[in-house]
């Protein structure tokens, strides 16, 4: 008892000391004024007005996101006050606010629970009455005989009442099933809203000091996760002699735990979660290694510029070889971090329903694995050959002596000095432009920002808010394209020049041609070409067929060599009512072995790239015209060898 009194006194003493030190301790609401949304994450700008007395004060900013990155918190607007400390924590006793529609659905689930429980109580009462009737069915006793009339009366009562009770039980069970089905539908709707019961919020505690009584307008800035945006485009082409209408839109989402109500919105192409640490290039030293060493060469980190799109639920595409564009069957397509995966079929095609992963890993024996963020419902991948696994001689790098290590360090310093000298000390001023929709474009050194001219409200439900960024009438050169050795469909393409001015990001595009939806395509402005070529879909009115000529299906033997002759005919028919321009590609195989020789090459009237073996025809096909193209070659190689013809 004495120990408890001493503990109570100590606690009271600490509270008194704390109240003396921080006599001004209070909770303070704040409002979100503006949000800068990154491709992954967001920067929140809050504001609040506080009145400080002389001395020390503790202010708790409540009902914040539980996903704040603590190291990013910044406070400004202190004026005559000063910060003693900043502390961020989680309040697990405070619930996040839900929207009215969501609260209504959640309350409906609770009401249905009460109705279900009431029906269970009724069923329990009916079963008790049934049990009572079953236990008191005996009529009369050993000395008294029940008359026939009484027996009939009792039998009628038992039959009627038992039937009524079982009917009521059946009705209650039917109501329970109906209520449960309604609950399931509501829960599915909440799942569609990406809603889960959240019982935590974030709090920022500020300890301030002021020499005078003052009023401060504090500005709080911090970064959060569970938010972002990704671009999507609408490409609309009415006729092949008119410009393309390109609509640039942003899909903004956030599930941060706090609704953004009537805020200024800035969309930035920056990604603060990207590894910003520049690599260091050290000298590489060669030395011999043991034949039994498990050495594996590393390759450079690939740069795809794709960002994760959380709305993509199904991904499909084709996996091909980077060297020749042929489909690769049997490629393992796995959602990173899960066991969810499929394999490509004989045509290299796959379809994968995504679950919780953010990226897909493509792997195949003898090929370099590729890991690509889930950014589009169409993800076509070209795998490259892993030459390190095919080489017979393997090398490894060693830093063998202190002297060499010193040289490497000296070399690195010189390289860094050369890199640093590339930047001058002149201040950088962001150029400002305007989009066709009235938004402001600010182009920075490493990113572009779009300041949306209207305020927006975005609820914290993970759902998508579509915001129009810009629209362009893009001059384009239309052309048809076919490569029947890989795909016998004919594709309409549009080539866009000077595309850098549109500030585009890699993203999926919806294609509309002649007023109808034509499908989806991908725009990748990260390509190192001087023009951007976009596929507008397949045109079934142009037919291409590639066949092997029977006269050349023969094999001969000359000495120790085997000679295989190949010849192909490509037939093109234009069923459209107008003349079209068509680019058609085919190829002659190239030898990678001196024992394999390609001879008797006939390329017809094509433009032949001898180094790559690519045949190219530029055709002007009038309406109703059929044109035939031919090419042939022979392959000579040693007998007993097999060739991937």
pLDDT surpasses 50 at 17: no
pLDDT at 413: 47
Taking 80 as the threshold, does the pLDDT of residue 391 lie above it? Answer: no
Predicted confidence (pLDDT) per residue in 175-188, tens digit: 999 998 988 888 88
> Residue 410: is its pLDDT beyond 50?
no
Task: Report the range out of 110-119, 376-385, 522-531 with the highest average pLDDT.
Answer: 110-119
Quick: pLDDT tens for 247-274.
Answer: 999 999 998 888 899 999 999 988 877 6
Query: Which is more confident, 189 or 82?
Result: 82
| pLDDT confidence of residue 299 | 58
pLDDT at 395: 40
Q: Which residue has the higher pLDDT, 137 or 566?
A: 566
Q: How confident is the model at residue 266, as a pLDDT?
A: 93
In whole angstroms, what is the distance from residue 256 CA to residue 41 CA?
Answer: 10
| Predicted local confidence at residue 305, as pLDDT | 67
pLDDT interval class at 414 (50, 70, 90)? very low
Residue 420 confidence (pLDDT):
45
pLDDT score, position 3: 47
- The end-to-end CA distance of the chain, in Å, is 94
Statement: residue 202 has pLDDT above 60: yes
The answer on pLDDT for 409 being more than 80 is no
Q: What confidence score (pLDDT) does residue 301 get?
A: 54
Beta pairing partners, 512: 236, 517
Between 115-119, 520-524, 540-544, the lowest mean confidence (pLDDT) is in 520-524
Share the mean pLDDT of the chain. 80
The SS3 call for residue 209 is strand
Tell me the sheet residues that pair with 273. none
pLDDT(194) > 60: no
pLDDT at 75 (0 to 100) = 92
Q: How confident is the model at residue 445 (pLDDT cuts 50, 70, 90)?
A: low
Residue 148 clears pLDDT 80, i.e. is over it: no
Dump pLDDT digits (tens) for 28-84.
Answer: 899 999 999 998 899 999 999 988 888 888 999 998 999 999 889 999 988 878 889
| CA gap 81, 216 in Å, rounded | 8
Position 404 pLDDT exceeds 50: no
What confidence score (pLDDT) does residue 399 get? 39
The average pLDDT across 396-413 equals: 40
Note the pLDDT tens digit of each residue in 574-594. 998 888 999 999 999 988 888
Range in 53-62, 390-399, 429-438 the model is least confident about: 390-399
**In Å, how far are 55, 134, 140, 153, 159 from 148, measured between CA atoms?**
99, 21, 12, 9, 16
Secondary structure class of 329 (helix, strand, coil): coil
Q: Which of these ranges, 272-281, 417-426, 503-512, has the smallest mean pLDDT? A: 417-426
What pLDDT score does 45 carry? 96
Axis crossing angle, helix 100-135 with helix 148-192, rounded to the nearest 10: 160
Average confidence (pLDDT) over 526-541: 77
Residue with tokens 């022979």: 634
Strands 487-497 and 332-335: unpaired
Phi, psi values for residue 436, rounded to 5°? -70, -15
Q: Which residue has the higher pLDDT, 44 or 241?
A: 44
Asked which of 38-47, 480-489, 519-528 is least confident by mean pLDDT, the reply is 519-528
Determine phi and psi for 11, rounding to 5 degrees.
-65, -45
Contact 378, 265 (CB under 8 A): no
pLDDT surpassing 70 at residue 216 = yes
Per-residue pLDDT of 597-632, as tens digits, reads 999 899 989 999 988 899 999 999 999 999 999 999
Spatial separation of the C-alpha atoms in residues 492 and 303, rounded to whole Å:
29
pLDDT for res 529: 64
Q: Inform me whether the pLDDT recorded for 298 exceeds 60.
A: no
Q: For the segment 327-367, what is each residue's pLDDT rounded down to a tens digit?
A: 889 999 999 988 899 999 888 899 999 888 889 999 998 88
Rg (C-alpha) for the chain, rounded Å, is 37
Which of 383-397, 429-443, 502-516 is predicted most confidently?
A: 502-516
The residue among 308, 343, 333 whose CA lies nearest residue 229 is: 308
pLDDT of residue 137: 65
Residue bearing the bigger pLDDT, 199 or 359:
359
3-state secondary structure of 429: coil
Asked whether residue 11 carries a pLDDT value surpassing 60, the answer given is no
Pairwise pLDDT comparison (540 vs 550), residue with the higher score: 540
Q: Quick one: pLDDT at residue 36?
A: 95
Which has the closest alpha carbon to 535: 469, 575, 583?
583
In this structure, of 19-23, 463-467, 481-485, the range with the lowest mean pLDDT score is: 19-23
pLDDT for res 269: 86
Please give the structure tokens belonging to residue 250: 């942003």
Burial 198-219, CB ≥16 within 10 A → b, else e = eeebbbbbbbbebeeebebebb
């Amino acid at each position: 008892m004495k120990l408890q009194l001493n503990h109570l006194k100590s606690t009271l003493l600490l509270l008194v000391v704390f109240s003396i030190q921080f006599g001004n301790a209070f909770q303070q609401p704040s409002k979100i004024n503006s949000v800068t949304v990154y491709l992954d994450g967001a920067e929140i700008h809050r504001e609040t007005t506080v009145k400080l007395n002389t001395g020390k004060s503790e202010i708790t900013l409540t009902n914040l996101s539980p996903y704040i990155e603590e190291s990013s918190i910044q406070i400004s607007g202190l004026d005559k006050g000063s910060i003693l400390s900043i502390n961020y924590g989680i309040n697990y006793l405070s619930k996040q606010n839900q929207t009215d529609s969501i609260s209504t659905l959640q309350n409906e689930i609770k009401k249905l629970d009460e109705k279900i429980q009431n029906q269970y109580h009724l069923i329990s009462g009916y079963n008790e009455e049934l049990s009572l009737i079953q236990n008191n069915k005996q009529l009369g006793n050993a000395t008294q005989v029940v008359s026939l009339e009484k027996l009939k009366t009792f039998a009628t009562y038992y039959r009627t009442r038992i039937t009524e009770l079982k009917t009521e039980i059946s009705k209650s069970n039917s109501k329970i099933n109906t209520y449960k089905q309604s609950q399931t539908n509501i829960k599915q709707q909440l799942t569609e809203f990406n809603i889960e019961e959240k019982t935590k919020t974030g709090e920022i505690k500020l300890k301030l000091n002021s020499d005078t009584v003052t009023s401060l307008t504090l500005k709080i800035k911090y970064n959060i996760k569970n938010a972002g945006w990704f671009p999507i485009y609408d490409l609309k082409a009415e006729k092949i002699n008119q410009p393309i209408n390109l609509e640039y839109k942003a899909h903004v989402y956030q599930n941060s735990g706090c609704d953004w109500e009537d805020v200024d919105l800035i969309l930035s192409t920056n990604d603060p979660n990207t590894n910003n640490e520049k690599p260091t290039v050290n000298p590489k030293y060669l030395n011999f290694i043991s034949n039994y060493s498990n050495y594996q060469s590393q390759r450079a980190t690939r740069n795809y510029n794709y960002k994760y799109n959380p709305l993509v639920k199904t991904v499909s595409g084709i996996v091909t070889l980077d060297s020749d564009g042929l489909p690769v069957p049997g490629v393992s397509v796995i959602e990173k971090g899960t066991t969810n995966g499929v394999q490509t079929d004989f045509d290299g095609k796959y379809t994968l329903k995504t679950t919780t992963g953010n990226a897909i890993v493509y792997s195949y024996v003898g090929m370099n694995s590729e890991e690509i963020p889930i950014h589009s419902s169409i993800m076509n991948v070209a795998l490259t050959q892993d030459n390190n696994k095919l080489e017979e001689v393997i090398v490894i790098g060693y830093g063998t002596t202190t002297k060499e290590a010193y040289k490497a360090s000296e070399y690195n310093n010189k390289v860094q000095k050369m890199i640093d000298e590339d930047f001058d000390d002149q201040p950088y001023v962001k150029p400002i432009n305007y989009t066709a929709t009235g938004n402001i474009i600010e182009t920075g050194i490493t990113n572009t920002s779009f300041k949306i001219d209207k305020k927006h409200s975005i609820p914290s439900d993970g759902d998508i808010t579509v915001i129009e960024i810009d629209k362009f009438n893009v001059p384009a050169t239309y052309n048809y394209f076919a490569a029947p050795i890989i795909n016998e469909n004919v594709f309409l393409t549009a080539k866009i020049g000077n595309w850098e001015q549109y500030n585009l990001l890699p993203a999926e595009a919806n294609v509309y041609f002649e007023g109808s939806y034509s499908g989806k395509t991908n725009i990748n402005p990260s390509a190192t070409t001087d023009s951007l070529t976009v596929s507008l879909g397949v045109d079934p009115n142009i037919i291409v067929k590639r066949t092997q000529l029977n006269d050349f299906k023969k094999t001969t033997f000359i000495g120790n060599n085997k000679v295989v002759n190949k010849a192909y005919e490509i037939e093109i028919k234009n069923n459209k009512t107008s003349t079209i321009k068509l680019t058609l590609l085919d190829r002659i195989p190239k030898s990678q072995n001196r024992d394999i020789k390609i001879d008797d090459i006939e390329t017809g009237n094509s433009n032949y790239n001898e180094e790559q073996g690519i045949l190219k025809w530029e055709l002007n096909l009038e309406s109703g015209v059929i044109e035939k193209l031919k090419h042939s070659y022979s392959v000579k190689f040693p007998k007993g060898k097999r060739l991937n013809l």
